[in-house]
């Protein structure tokens, strides 16, 4: 049997087709020994291995064997049951990782947008519980400045001179500050600030328009608006609160781990963020 390239398993009535080499990723596991007829728990019936276990949970076992990657759905909750299945099949690295649910469970991510209108300017401050999300959003937002005379400040572009991009203020890794609109500079000169938010290519100077584009960008990125409130009625500061379930980075393991070895010690967090 060990020389068969394709193996068919029926687990709790659910049929799986895979390569023998996939089942042999962990040589000490029961699935690897099954191919050599070394385990009576697996019955060969009409060319298919039958095992009386949970077929739905076995799909996650197969995904792990094929990728050496542990990444579960955001609504997954059967960590203990899947851990028992991993132990049954002798996949101790997977069982070790599943015993640390905090590494695999999705986390609630909070983001807050504060917006203030003052005369001809609009001020924005964005706070986020995840610094990576704030950093990514900061890379999408660009502020451009330019000067023009007061006689034509309401024109689509501030002057014939090219607009100059300026960096956002970053008080910390978890927030950013920027503004748009116009203000007096000297004499009859105005400083105009435009905001662009990728992938939209427009340069917007009106604060209400920038706010609408920003909120739309967050909604498209998987955030859900949970509340709006006025922080300061005198200063006209509005606050928009968002949340989303953020999938954790997947965990990978090496295929040469032995029974009893610590999956946490040999597992490493992938650098690829999934998940939204």
Contact criterion met (CB below 8 Å) for 203 and 143: no
Q: pLDDT band for 59, please (50, 70, 90 cuts).
A: very high
User: Residue 271 above 60 pLDDT?
Assistant: no
**Does residue 72 come out as left (phi exceeding 0), alpha (psi in the -120 to 50 range) or beta?**
beta
Q: Global pTM?
A: 0.61
Question: What is the pLDDT at residue 40?
Answer: 78
Question: What is the pLDDT at residue 266?
Answer: 42
pLDDT (tens digit per residue) in 121-165: 999 999 999 998 999 999 999 999 987 665 554 555 444 468 899
191: burial class by Cβ within 10 Å (0-12, 13-18, 19+)? middle
Residues pairing with 125 in the sheet: 114, 177
Contact criterion met (CB below 8 Å) for 31 and 90: yes
Which domains are assigned to the chain? 6-104 (3.30.710.10), 108-246 (3.30.1410.10)
Q: Which two tokens stand for residue 104?
A: 């695999």
Q: pLDDT band for 275, please (50, 70, 90 cuts).
A: very low
Tell me the C-alpha to C-alpha distance, in Å, between residue 176 and each of 31, 126, 142, 252.
Answer: 51, 5, 12, 33
User: Residue 273 above 60 pLDDT?
Assistant: no
pLDDT (tens digit per residue) in 240-251: 999 998 766 666
Work out the average pLDDT over 12-22: 94
Phi/psi at 120 (nearest 5 deg)?
-100, 15
Question: What is the pLDDT at residue 150?
Answer: 56
Contact criterion met (CB below 8 Å) for 18 and 62: yes
Question: What is the pLDDT at residue 126?
Answer: 97
Across the chain, what does the average pLDDT equal? 83
Contact criterion met (CB below 8 Å) for 107 and 82: no
CA distance 83 to 68: 16
Hey, what's the torsion of the CAs at 253, 256, 260, 261, to 10 degrees?
A: -60
**Does residue 98 come out as left (phi exceeding 0), alpha (psi in the -120 to 50 range) or beta?**
alpha
Q: pLDDT band for 17, please (50, 70, 90 cuts).
A: very high
pLDDT (tens digit per residue) in 170-226: 999 999 999 999 887 666 678 899 999 999 989 999 999 999 999 999 999 999 999
């Amino acid at each position: 049997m060990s020389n068969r390239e394709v193996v068919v398993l029926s687990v709790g009535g659910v049929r799986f087709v895979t390569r023998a080499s996939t089942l042999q990723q962990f040589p000490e596991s029961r699935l690897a020994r099954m191919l050599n007829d070394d385990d009576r728990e697996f019955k060969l019936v009409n060319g298919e291995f039958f095992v009386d276990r949970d077929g739905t949970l076995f799909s996650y076992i197969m995904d792990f064997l094929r990728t050496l990657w542990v990444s579960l759905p955001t609504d997954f909750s059967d960590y203990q049951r899947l851990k028992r299945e991993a132990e049954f099949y002798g996949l101790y690295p997977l069982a070790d990782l599943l015993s640390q649910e905090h590494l695999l469970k999705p986390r609630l991510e909070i983001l807050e947008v504060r917006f203030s209108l003052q005369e001809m300017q609009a001020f924005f401050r964005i706070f986020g519980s995840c610094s990576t999300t704030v950093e990514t959003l900061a890379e999408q937002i660009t502020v451009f400045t330019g000067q023009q005379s007061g006689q034509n400040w309401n024109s689509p572009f501030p002057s014939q001179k090219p607009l100059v991009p300026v960096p956002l203020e970053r008080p910390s890794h978890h927030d950013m500050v920027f503004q748009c609109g116009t203000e007096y500079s000297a004499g009859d000169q105005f400083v105009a600030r435009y905001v662009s938010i990728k992938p939209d290519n427009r340069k917007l100077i009106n604060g209400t328009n920038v706010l609408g584009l920003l909120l739309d960008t967050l909604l498209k990125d998987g955030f859900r608006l949970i509340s709006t409130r006025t922080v300061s009625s005198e200063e006209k500061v509005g606050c928009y609160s968002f949340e989303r379930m953020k999938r954790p980075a997947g965990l990978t393991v090496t295929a040469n781990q032995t029974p009893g070895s610590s999956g946490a010690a040999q597992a490493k967090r992938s650098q690829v963020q999934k998940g939204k």
